[in-house]
Every structure is written in structure tokens, then in C-alpha cells.
């Protein structure tokens, strides 16, 4: 790479930005087409796609069956699976035959059995502490009368994770075998992960109909890519000698993949599965808003009806479920097999936990009909703290209305409004031009071309203004997150006690599904862009802290020791050595912050933002798949362009410091 040649170009974006500002001064003189992307120039891709989707859904006939019948048939298969799992956990099975009353009813697993099973699983994965924790969490679902919805959510997550793992491992293995395939798949994963969930919910609805299934499929699309990426990466990281051993032992290709490569990559794969579980949970919660039952629907319904208390209880249930699933799957990933002490012939002795689990299921099934409390948690014992929470909110509104409102208004007037106006008023050709030059300066002509094409695409789609609104909120979110997160990260890196507290908080917060973050902000600030902004910052500040801490903690010891020996004061050390050397890591962190900010931005459409994410959400209500896809891709374009720019900046700064280029961070 010819870094020196490009150094001059670094100045170009600055010059352009100055030019643009000068231009803005004489706002009136700018031709109208520069200020606003003309409506006539819009390429009606959204309308055409709407038509195309409808054509496929309603009219395409494949001879024996229509396209719609094909997709619905596919859906039917997966639906059986979902119904089965739902039956096991929540709904039970009823067999009708010809009569009006079922001749056979199989109840679902009782709450005692499910709680016990998960506690046993937790014990196996990690130990007694986690088992107790998980048992308490599941008891919470029962006590607060959220059992059935929690189980519905769990069933959806279960099926989504199964599908996600199966598809992800298959695609990941293909990506490992063929470099071409990997090169094709990677950008597709990027798009899948950055496109708002609303956007693929719409086409899924059109093809697969309403119901839990639509949400499930959208969840798989959203949660599968990390599994595929992790699989490819994990296979590539299997030690060369282990792979060679597979060949030397005389494995066939299939034997080598299934018996040598995948088992050797097991630990990384399990960490990938943990990601799939957490992403699936987040997506299932969001998807349950559009028709599928479950905890997400509880929260949403309660929120819209302003029953804050119920929303908090259900939100807490989501939180507990997330923590339980995360800790269990992490425990399994970290688990190492231990040899059996003796070869017990007795099956029961050899597998005590399995035996216990089976005994529990059988016992609860037998006792169920006689002891109602085993079958379902007695209603008389369920409690609700809803009123307490309602009172808290009431109290806040009555006593602190002015403080909170004043706080909110201050930020809206002095920060959000002006920045938003600035972004909207930026002439679109100038934005594209700046992006192209910046892209060239940071990453060469490829990046310049990418930035130019994607941003022009947004302009052509006719959603430029909405895109700028999304961009303004995300940018502000990133900046605020870095401003808040970086100092905390520095403090955590320098002080062990701070670190311990911060780590616990971050570990818990980052397991929470995005949707949960909306709860407190809506309670405090109602709806609009300010609560959205706060939610974004709360969510995106986590990687800002983590990466800053990581960057500073990872500076090689000899450098720190040399600095100390040269007599630097603590401040000199921090500002002249530690922060500059941590910069590449911090920049990678900015990248993660950006991803998280956009991830949350998409969800904040629910509390009334105005950008592309909102267009995508409303397209869902209006069943306009074309609009959903176009606006969703718009967000994906914004994310991809900013992501590539920041990655390029990180690589540049690494090279500048003479450090080896790190592998690009995985989303």
C-alpha cells in the first residue's frame, strides 16, 4: 500500500468539509437539487419490489403448485417442529380424531420438571451455584405468572437456535472448503446482520403468513450469520498438524470434517452457539411483537397500555432468561471433559444426571394429575409487583417531572435538534463526495468506490432524508458512547477495583436483548428521539468501555516498564504512551460501538424515531415488502460504509505504529 502518496489526500476531506460549511452560509443560493434530492430522480425500487413480491406471492405458478404453496409448504415443515417444541414446553398435545373432544391429551412438561431440567443442565455445565441461580430464575417465571409466555419464548429460541446451528455450520464448512464461496458469503452475512429485522420480517410475512413462524424465520436469518462465520474461522484455526493427522490416518473427506475438524474446533463452535442463542433470544423477543406470543409481546402490550408494572416484570423475565441461557451455554463452552474414575457397568451410576432428569420428568408427569401444584404453579400463590412499579413511575412523574423533563428538553434543544438539522441540511452530493475522498484516503480506491456506490444507492432510492436522520442519531450515539465509555475504560484498565465492578456490570448488561433497554427509557422519558438516543448510548457504551480497557491493558509490559523507568509521571504515561498505543484497539472498539448503535437504533423505531428504521417498521404494518427491503438495505449501506471506514482507519493507525495488522474484528 502506498501510504505516503495518500497522505496528501488526508487533507482533502477537511478541505471539502470547509467548503461545504462555506456553502451552507449561503444556503439560499444553492440550487434546490443540491439541497434536496429531487423527487423525480427517485428510482422506484421499493414500489417495483412490492409488485415483484406480490407477483411471486400471488401469481407465480410452478406447474404442480404455486410459489406461495411452495413457501407455505416449507413453512409447514418447520412449523411442525415449532409446534412440537411448543407442545413440549408450553402447550401440550391434543389428539382429536373425529370427535369434538380430544381422545388423548398429553400435558406439557410441568413447571417443576422444566425448572428441574434446566437446573440439572446448569449443574452439568457449570456447577451448583449456577444450578441454584437458574432454578430461582425459572421459579420467578412461575411466581410472576409469566410461565407460559416464558416457555413460548424458550420454544422459539430453541427451534431458531437449532436451525441457526444447522444452517450456520453447513455454510461455515462450505466457506472453509472453498475460498470463492467464502468470498461470496461474507458480504451476504454482512448484509444479513446489518439489515434491520423489520425488513426481512415483511417478505417473510408475505411468503409465510402471519404467526410465530414468520418471527422464527426472521430470527434465523438474523442469528445464523455469526455461527457460519465462527465455523469457518474455527475450522481455519484448527492446528495444521491436527488437520494433517486426519489425512495421515487415512480419513475420507467426510470423515475428516466430522471426526477430526469439527470436534477439534468444538470450543470455538460452542462460543459461536452462545452467540446464536443470545442473538436468537433478542430477535425472538422483537419478533414476538408482531404476532407471535411470548415475553416480548407481554412487554410490548403492557408498554403500549402504559401498564408499566407488568412491562417491568416481563422485561425482568426476559433479562433472567437471557442471563440463564448465556451462563449455561458459556459454561458448556468452557467445560472440559474429565475422565471417568471407574468403568461402572451400571448405566444409572454412569449417568447420574441423565437418570435424575428422567426421574424428574416421569415423577412430575405421574404426580401431575393428582397434585395440581406440580402441574402448574397455583394461581393463588402468584404475585405481582406491578402496582409498586406503577407507583414508582407515578411518583417520578409527580415529584420529578420537572427535573426529568428539563433534562430531556435541555438535550433535545441543545444537542439533538441542532445536530439533526445539520445532518438534514447537508447537501447530498457533498456528503457523497466527502465519503468518497475519505474512503480513498483511508482505504484506497476500492473503499472510495464502495462508499460512493452505496451512498448513491441510498440517494437513488429516494430515502436520503430518512437515511440522514438515522445517521444523525447513530453518530450522536457513537460519539456520546465514546465520550462516556472511553474514560470508564481507562479507569478500569488502571484500577483493579474499578475493573471488577465494571466487568460485572458489563457482562450482565451485554447479555440483555436490545428490547429490554427500551423499558427504562420509556418509563423515564416517554417516546421520541431522546429516549431512543439514551437507549442507544446505554447499549453502545459497553464495547466502548471494553475495547478501551482492552487496548490499554494489552500494551506490552516492557513498554510500560521502560516508560516508568524513564521517569514519566502517571499523566505523561497515560497521554503520551498508553492512549496513543491503545488507539488501534480503541478504533476497533469504535467499530463495535457503531454496530451496536445501529443495532439499537433499529429497535428504537418502536419508540418513535424518524429515520430509515421507522420506514422499515411501518412497511411491516402496511405489508409493503419492497419498502421494507429498500429501507433496510439503506441502513445496511450506512453501516457497511462506516464500518469499512473505521476498520481502514484502525489498520492505518496500526501500520503507523508499526504493529502487526490484527485480524478484522468479527461483528
Partner 1 sequence: MSDTASKGASPPGREDEVMVRCERVWKVFGAGAERVIAEHGASVSDETLARHELIAAVRDVNLSVNRGEIFVIMGLSGSGKSTLVRCMTGLIGLTLGRLLIDGTDLMNISTRDLVEVRRYKMGMVFQDFALLPHLTVLGNVVFPLKIQGVERGAREARAREMIELVGLSGRERYYPHELSGGQQQRVGIARSLTTEPEIWFLDEPFSALDPLIRHEMQDELQRLQGILRKTIVFITHDFDEAIKLADRIAIMNEGRVVQIGTPEGLVVNPANDYVAEFTQKIPRARVLTVRAVMGPPGRAGGEPIPENALVHEAAERVLAAEQPLPVSNARGELVGSLDRDAVIRVLLEKDRG
Partners of 66 in the β-ladder: 61
Among 67, 181, 245, 407, binds partner 1 (CB under 8 A): 245
Long-range contacts (CB closer than 8 Å, 24 or more residues apart) made by 331-337? 331/122, 331/125, 331/126, 331/127, 331/130, 332/125, 332/270, 333/267, 333/270, 333/271, 333/273, 333/274, 334/126, 335/125, 335/126
Q: Report helix angle 212-237 to 197-208, nearest 10.
A: 120
Nearer to partner 1, 249 or 621 (CB): 249
Nearer to partner 1, 265 or 473 (CB): 265
* Interface mask toward partner 1 for 549-588; x: CB under 8 A: ----------------------------------------
Q: How far is the CB of 244 from partner 1 (least distance, A)?
A: 5
Q: Does 98 bind partner 1 (CB under 8 A)?
A: no
Judge whether 522 and 303 are in contact, CB under 8 Å: yes
Partners of 106 in the β-ladder: 93
Rg of the Cα atoms in the chain:
27
| Residues in CB range of 83: below 8 A, 6 or more apart | none
Nearer to partner 1, 25 or 254 (CB): 254
Report CA-CA distances (Å) from 528 to 423, 471, 531: 18, 16, 6
Judge whether 229 and 279 are in contact, CB under 8 Å: no
Q: Does 259 bind partner 1 (CB under 8 A)?
A: yes
Q: Does 337 bind partner 1 (CB under 8 A)?
A: yes
Stretch that binds partner 1, among 243-251, 349-357, 529-537, 616-624 (CB under 8 A): 243-251
Q: Does 26 bind partner 1 (CB under 8 A)?
A: no
Q: How far is the CB of 258 from partner 1 (least distance, A)?
A: 10
Nearer to partner 1, 344 or 559 (CB): 344
Among 21, 48, 178, 252, binds partner 1 (CB under 8 A): 252
Query: Which SS3 state, helix, strand or coil, does residue 213 take?
Result: helix
Q: Does 297 bind partner 1 (CB under 8 A)?
A: no
| Residues in CB range of 638: below 8 A, 6 or more apart | 458, 467, 470, 471, 474, 598, 612
Q: How far is the CB of 270 from partner 1 (least distance, A)?
A: 11
Nearer to partner 1, 249 or 348 (CB): 249
Nearer to partner 1, 335 or 414 (CB): 335
Kindly state the helix (H) or strand (E) to which residue 89 belongs, with its residue range: none
Stretch that binds partner 1, among 150-158, 335-343, 396-404, 517-525 (CB under 8 A): 335-343
Nearer to partner 1, 350 or 401 (CB): 350
Q: Does 23 bind partner 1 (CB under 8 A)?
A: no
| Residues in CB range of 365: below 8 A, 6 or more apart | 107, 110, 113
Nearer to partner 1, 22 or 347 (CB): 347
Among 21, 178, 242, 554, binds partner 1 (CB under 8 A): 242
Among 247, 387, 391, 564, binds partner 1 (CB under 8 A): 247
Stretch that binds partner 1, among 42-50, 54-62, 332-340, 553-561 (CB under 8 A): 332-340
HSE value, Cβ hemisphere, 13 Å, CA-based, for 50: 12
Nearer to partner 1, 26 or 241 (CB): 241
Q: How far is the CB of 229 from partner 1 (least distance, A)?
A: 22
Q: Does 338 bind partner 1 (CB under 8 A)?
A: yes
Q: Does 255 bind partner 1 (CB under 8 A)?
A: yes
Q: How far is the CB of 248 from partner 1 (least distance, A)?
A: 4
Q: Does 340 bind partner 1 (CB under 8 A)?
A: yes
Q: Does 244 bind partner 1 (CB under 8 A)?
A: yes
Judge whether 281 and 288 are in contact, CB under 8 Å: no
Kindly state the helix (H) or strand (E) to which residue 374 belongs, with its residue range: helix 372-375
Q: How far is the CB of 128 from partner 1 (least distance, A)?
A: 23
Q: Does 339 bind partner 1 (CB under 8 A)?
A: yes
Of 630, 641, 607, nearest to 463 by C-alpha is 630
Q: Does 350 bind partner 1 (CB under 8 A)?
A: no
Four-CA torsion 4, 8, 13, 15, nearest 10 degrees:
170
Q: Does 237 bind partner 1 (CB under 8 A)?
A: no
Nearer to partner 1, 247 or 564 (CB): 247
Nearer to partner 1, 242 or 403 (CB): 242
Question: d(Cα 287, Cα 201) in Å, to the nearest integer?
Answer: 8
Rounded to 5°, angle at Cα 244 from 243 and 248: 125
Stretch that binds partner 1, among 169-177, 193-201, 262-270, 347-355 (CB under 8 A): 262-270
> What's the length of the chain?
667
Four-CA torsion 65, 67, 71, 72, nearest 10 degrees:
-50
Question: d(Cα 314, Cα 301) in Å, to the nearest integer?
Answer: 10
Q: Does 250 bind partner 1 (CB under 8 A)?
A: yes
DSSP state, 104? E
Among 150, 223, 260, 636, binds partner 1 (CB under 8 A): 260
Q: Does 97 bind partner 1 (CB under 8 A)?
A: no
Q: Does 251 bind partner 1 (CB under 8 A)?
A: yes
Of 195, 50, 43, nearest to 624 by C-alpha is 50
Nearer to partner 1, 248 or 398 (CB): 248
Report CA-CA distances (Å) from 338 to 238, 265, 335: 22, 18, 9
* Interface mask toward partner 1 for 263-292; x: CB under 8 A: xx-x--------------------------
Nearer to partner 1, 261 or 486 (CB): 261
Stretch that binds partner 1, among 317-325, 338-346, 494-502, 658-666 (CB under 8 A): 338-346
| Residues in CB range of 409: below 8 A, 6 or more apart | none
Nearer to partner 1, 336 or 497 (CB): 336
- 120 Ramachandran zone, left/alpha/beta (phi>0; psi -120 to 50): alpha
Count residues near partner 1 (CB under 8 A). 23
For partner 1, the binding residues (CB under 8 A) are 239, 241-242, 244-245, 247-252, 255, 259-260, 263-264, 266, 336-340, 343
Amino acid at each position: 500500500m502506498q501510504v505516503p502518496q495518500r497522505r496528501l489526500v488526508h487533507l482533502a476531506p477537511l478541505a471539502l468539509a470547509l467548503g461545504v460549511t462555506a456553502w451552507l452560509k449561503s444556503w439560499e443560493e444553492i440550487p434546490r437539487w443540491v439541497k434536496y434530492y429531487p423527487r423525480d430522480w427517485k428510482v422506484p425500487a421499493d414500489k417495483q419490489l412490492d409488485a415483484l413480491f406480490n407477483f411471486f406471492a400471488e401469481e407465480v405458478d410452478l406447474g404442480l403448485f404455486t410459489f406461495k404453496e411452495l413457501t407455505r409448504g416449507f413453512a409447514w415443515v418447520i412449523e411442525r417442529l415449532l409446534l412440537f417444541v411448543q407442545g413440549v414446553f408450553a402447550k401440550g398435545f391434543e389428539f382429536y380424531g373425529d370427535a369434538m373432544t380430544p381422545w388423548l391429551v398429553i400435558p406439557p412438561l410441568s413447571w417443576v420438571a422444566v425448572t428441574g431440567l434446566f437446573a440439572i443442565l446448569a449443574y452439568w455445565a457449570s456447577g451448583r451455584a449456577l444450578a441454584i441461580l437458574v432454578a430461582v430464575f425459572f421459579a420467578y417465571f412461575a411466581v410472576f405468572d409469566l410461565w407460559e409466555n416464558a416457555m413460548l419464548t424458550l420454544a422459539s429460541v430453541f427451534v431458531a437456535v437449532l436451525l441457526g446451528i444447522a444452517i450456520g455450520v453447513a455454510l461455515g464448512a462450505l466457506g472453509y472448503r472453498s475460498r470463492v464461496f467464502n468470498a461470496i458469503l461474507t458480504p451476504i452475512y454482512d448484509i444479513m446482520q446489518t439489515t434491520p429485522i423489520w425488513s426481512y420480517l415483511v417478505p417473510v410475512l408475505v411468503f409465510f403468513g402471519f404467526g410465530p413462524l414468520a418471527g422464527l424465520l426472521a430470527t434465523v436469518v438474523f442469528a445464523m450469520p455469526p455461527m457460519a462465520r465462527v465455523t469457518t474461522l474455527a475450522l481455519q484455526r484448527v492446528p495444521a498438524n491436527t488437520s494433517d493427522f486426519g489425512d495421515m490416518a487415512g480419513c475420507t473427506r467426510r470423515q475428516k470434517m466430522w471426526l477430526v475438524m469439527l470436534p477439534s474446533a468444538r470450543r470455538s463452535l460452542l462460543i459461536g452457539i452462545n452467540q446464536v442463542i443470545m442473538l436468537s433470544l433478542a430477535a425472538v423477543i422483537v419478533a414476538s411483537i408482531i404476532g407471535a406470543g411470548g415475553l416480548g409481546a407481554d412487554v410490548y402490550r403492557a408498554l403500549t397500555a402504559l401498564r408499566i408494572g407488568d412491562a417491568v416484570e416481563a422485561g425482568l423475565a426476559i433479562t433472567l432468561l437471557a442471563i440463564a441461557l448465556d451462563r449455561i451455554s458459556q459454561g458448556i463452552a468452557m467445560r472440559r471433559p474429565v475422565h471417568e474414575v471407574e468403568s461402572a457397568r451400571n448405566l444409572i451410576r454412569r449417568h447420574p444426571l441423565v437418570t435424575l432428569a428422567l426421574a424428574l420428568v416421569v415423577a412430575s408427569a405421574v404426580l401431575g394429575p393428582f397434585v395440581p401444584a406440580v402441574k402448574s404453579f397455583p394461581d393463588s400463590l402468584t404475585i405481582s409487583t406491578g402496582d409498586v412499579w406503577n407507583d414508582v413511575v407515578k411518583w417520578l412523574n409527580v415529584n420529578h417531572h420537572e427535573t426529568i423533563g428539563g433534562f430531556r428538553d435541555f438535550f433535545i434543544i441543545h444537542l439533538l435538534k441542532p445536530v439533526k438539522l445539520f445532518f438534514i441540511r447537508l447537501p447530498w452530493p457533498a456528503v457523497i463526495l466527502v465519503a468518497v475522498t475519505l474512503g480513498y484516503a483511508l482505504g484506497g480506491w476500492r473503499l472510495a468506490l464502495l462508499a460512493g456506490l452505496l451512498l448513491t444507492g441510498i440517494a437513488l432510492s429516494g430515502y436520503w432524508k430518512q437515511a440522514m436522520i438515522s445517521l444523525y442519531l447513530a453518530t450522536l450515539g457513537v460519539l456520546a458512547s465514546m465520550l462516556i465509555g472511553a474514560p470508564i475504560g481507562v479507569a478500569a484498565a488502571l484500577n483493579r477495583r474499578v475493573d471488577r465492578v465494571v466487568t460485572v456490570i458489563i457482562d450482565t448488561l451485554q447479555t440483555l436483548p436490545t428490547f429490554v433497554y427500551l423499558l427504562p427509557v420509556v418509563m423515564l422519558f416517554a417516546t421520541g428521539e431522546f429516549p431512543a438516543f439514551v437507549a442507544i448510548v446505554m447499549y453502545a457504551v459497553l464495547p466502548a468501555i471494553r475495547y478501551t480497557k482492552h487496548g490499554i491493558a494489552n500494551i506490552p509490559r516492557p513498554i510500560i516498564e521502560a516508560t516508568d523507568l524513564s521517569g514519566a509521571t502517571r499523566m505523561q504515561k497515560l497521554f503520551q504512551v498508553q492512549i496513543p498505543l491503545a488507539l488501534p484497539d480503541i478504533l476497533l472498539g469504535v467499530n463495535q460501538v457503531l454496530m451496536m448503535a445501529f443495532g439499537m437504533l433499529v429497535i428504537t423505531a418502536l419508540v418513535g424515531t424518524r429515520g430509515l428504521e421507522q420506514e422499515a417498521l411501518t412497511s411491516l404494518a402496511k405489508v409493503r415488502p419492497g419498502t421494507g427491503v429498500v429501507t433496510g438495505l439503506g441502513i445496511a449501506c450506512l453501516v457497511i460504509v462506516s464500518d469499512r471506514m473505521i476498520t481502514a482507519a484502525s489498520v492505518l493507525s496500526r501500520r503507523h505504529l508499526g504493529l502487526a495488522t490484527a485480524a478484522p474484528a468479527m461483528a
